[in-house]
Chain A
C-alpha cells in the first residue's frame, strides 16, 4: 500500500516541478521585481507611475482596444469557417489545413506579410494591375490588426470547431422539428451550445494579443506601442526591470480578469 502511494507520487513529480519552475517562480519573480526601481531600491513608485502617467494608461487602453479588435475579427472569421468546415465531408482534413500555418514560425509569417504588403509588394502590384494607385499598407493599424487576426485565427477556430462537432445531430433535428428556421437554430441552439468553445477561443487569443510586440514592430512599424512592446523596451533597452515587471503584473491581472469573465458556469451536460 505504502509502496503504491510513493509510486503514484512519482507521476505527480514532473507536473509539480513544471508548476514550480515555470509558473510559480516566474510569477513570483515578476511580482518581486515590480517593487524595485532602477537602482534596486524597494519602491511602490512603479505602480504609482503606471497609474498616474497618461502614457501607460493610454498604452493599456490601446493594447486592450487592439486585442479586443483582433479577438473580435478572429471570432467573426473563425465562427462561420468552423461552422462550414464542421459540415464538410472530409472535415478533419480541412481543419488540418487551417491548423497547418501554426507550424510555421511566427517571424517567417511576419516577414512574408512584409513582402505581401510593402509598397512594391504583391498586393500593390495587383492593385496597379487594376489601375488602383499604390497604397501604404504596411505600418498601419489596419494591417497590424489584420495580420494579428490572421495569426490568431487557428487558435480561435479549433475550440469552436471542437464544440461544434460535439453537438449531436438530434439537437438540430429537434430544433427544426419544432419549427425553427435555420437562422433560429443557429442563434438559439448552435451558438449557445458552442459558447464554451467561443469562450476558450477568447481566452487563448485575447491575452497573447495584449502583448504582440514582434508584430507591432514588424507590421505596425513601431507606431503601435502596446503593453508588449513596452515590456520589451524596459527589459532590453532602458533596463528598467522594475517598470517592465510592473507592466507584466498588470498583464497577469488582466489575464485573470478575462478568465473570470469567460469562465463557464458548469451546467453539467447529459452524457
Chain B
C-alpha cells in the first residue's frame, strides 16, 4: 500500500530485567487515519508508542516510517510528535514559549514562529492564552496546549499517550469529539493509546486490542464490539455475558441445555465454544416467551438505563441493560435473536478467525 506511514515488523521488546513487553508485534498504519491501541495497563501499548517515538529501543524487529527503517534514528530526528500523559509542559516557559519550542530548536525565523504558534493555539481555541504561565491553566487547557505544542512542527503522525486520563468525565467526552475533529481537520495519522474502551470505540477508525504484549484483534470499532475474537476481548470491550456452550452444527449452538439458532459457522461439529451476548441485546419478557429464564437479583439505575443483574438456574450471572425497571426477585424470561449471539472458539488465531468469518459472511 502506498499510503502506509508507519509499519512495525515482528517487533519484540525485552527489558533488562527479562520482562518481555512486546511479542511479535506487526502492523501498518495508513496516512490520515485514527488508530487506537487499547488494552489494560501493562499490556505493552505504551511501549509500542515509545518505540515509535524513539524513547525506547526494540529488542528485535523493524520500525519503519515512510518506508524507511528508523530503529536507530534518535527521537529528535523522527518526524512525529507525542502528546504525553502528564502533558510535560515545560514549567519554566509560558504557553507561547512551550508551543514555540519545537520551532525554536529548529531555528525557524521569528515571524514564522509567531504565525505558526498563533495558528496552533487557534486550532485548540486558546489563542488568547499565549502569555499565560502553565501553572495558571486548568487541566483541560494544559491538555490543549500539549496538543498545540505537538502539532506545531506539522508531524505526519501524532502519538497520544493516554492524554485524556487526567480529565474529568465531562471534559473527557468533549475532548473525544475535539480530538476526532482535529484529526480530520489536520488529515494526519493519530495513534492513540488508552485503556478506556469507550474512548477507543468513539474515536477510532481502527482499534488494536492488546493484552500481555500481543495484539489480539484489530478491526474497526463495530467489528470488534460485535465480533470479539475471544473471551478477553469480549470482556474488555464493553460489558458482556459469556456462556460456555457447544457448536452443534453450522448456525446451531447449544448452551444451558437448549439449542439455539445463531449466525456463526465454520466450526467443527460439537466443538466447545463460548457464546457472547451483549447486555443491551437482551430483552426482558415473560418467562414463557423468553428463551431462557432468570431470577432478578439486583437493579442499578444508571441514568440512561437500568443495569439488572440476574441468575439462571445453573447460577450463571446475567447482565441486562433495560430502559424499564423490573421487580427484584422476579423470575423473567430473556429474549434474543440469532444475530444477538456471537460464538467464539477457544484459542483461535486472528488470521483463522478472520478467514472463517469471511467464509460465511458477505
Q: Which A residues are closer than 8 A to B by beta carbons?
A: 168, 170-171, 173-181, 184, 188-189, 192-193, 195, 267-270
Contact = CB atoms under 8 A, between A and B. Distances in A.
A175 B101 CA distance: 8
A180 B101 contact: yes
Contact of A174 (B54, B84, B133, B142): B84
A178 B102 contact: yes
9 contacts: A174-B89, A177-B76, A178-B101, A178-B150, A179-B102, A179-B153, A188-B105, A193-B91, A269-B91
A89 B32 CA distance: 41
B81 interface: yes
Q: How would you classify the secondary structure of chain A's contact residues: helix, strand, loop or mixed?
A: helix
B92 A170 contact: no
A181 B105 contact: yes
A168 B90 CA distance: 10
Given A174-B82, A177-B76, A188-B101, A270 B88 contact: no
A14 B150 CA distance: 53
Interface of B: 53-55, 74-77, 81-82, 84-86, 88-92, 101-102, 104-106, 133-135, 142, 149-150, 153
Contact of A170 (B54, B86, B106, B153): B86
Q: Can you list the 8 inter-chain pairs with the closest CB atoms, starting with the nearest?
A: A178-B102, A174-B88, A170-B88, A192-B92, A180-B105, A268-B135, A176-B75, A176-B76
Nearest to A194: B92
Contact of B90 (A177, A184, A189, A195): A189
B86 A173 contact: no
B55 A173 contact: yes
Given A176-B74, A176-B76, A193 B92 contact: yes
Contacts of A175: 90, 101, 105
Contacts of B55: 173, 176-177
Contacts of A168: 86, 88
A174 B90 contact: yes
Contact of A179 (B84, B85, B105, B135): B105
Contacts of B101: 175, 178, 180, 188
Given A177-B81, A177-B82, A178-B105, A171 B74 contact: no
B135 A269 contact: yes
A178 B86 contact: no
Contacts of B150: 177-178
B91 A270 contact: yes
